[in-house]
Amino acid sequence: MRVHTLKRAVIALALALPGAAIATVVAAPAAHADGCYTWQRTLSQGRSGEDVRQLQIRVAGWAAYRDIVRVDGSYGPETAAAVKRFQSAYGLPADGIAGSRTFAKIYELQDNDCTPKHFSYSELDNGCGRSGWSGGPLSSTATRANAVRTMWKLEALRRSLGDKPLYVTSGFRSIACNRQVGGASDSQHLYGTAADLVPRGSSLCQVARTARNRGFSGIYGPGYPGHSNHVHVDSRRENNNDRSTNSTSWSAPNCGIG
């Protein structure tokens, strides 16, 4: 379990008169994500900016069925709907407006490096002994950023499965690693946008079916060649920056997905 810094109110007691104590409470500072990102304003439809983009990264796993949340810095109906689903999933008032309670929950879920608390960079960079995010078709910075977005979707998937563990057996792969394991030449693993998953407490089919509502445009599971013991999920739609055509690819015949 990761350790997160707790913000506590400081209470100062001052004696005004002999035998009479007056308690002065100094309010705690606004909650913030230690070492990560702090939102400074309430966000709702019509807002735009980097703070909206940071929010979109964290709610991208709460997209509608067969849809995605664009990380474009513009707070439209798509983002508002994803925020509502996030809020509902964590027992918050589901109004689609990202305010202090929504941000407090995000701060609770994330670590100092902006990854969600149940997933880490080391898990997503686990192909062929880890390569440090280099050796792929993108820069290491871009690949690492993609991996963060993937992790937040995985966090949403985990929550939707009742907070039952998901283990990443293969994440980012360098070009050399991908060749070594026999991966497709255009594999999403090359971009940091894919993860192969093994659940605990859930079935592979439960994972594959639930992933359809968590912003994943690529899903392969039981019944698809080579996927009898894990579920592959990816974000090829965002990677291709393609919303004009249907670039969604799902196949898990044994789970009724095809």
Q: Which residues are catalytic?
A: 227
* Rounded Cα distance, 150 and 145, in Å: 9
Closest to 153 in 3D by CA, of 26, 74, 58: 58
* Rounded Cα distance, 164 and 157, in Å: 10
* Rounded Cα distance, 148 and 153, in Å: 9
Phi, psi (rounded to 5 degrees) for 110: -110, 155
SS3 content of the chain, % helix, strand, coil (to 5): 35, 15, 50
For tokens 């949340």, name the residue: 69
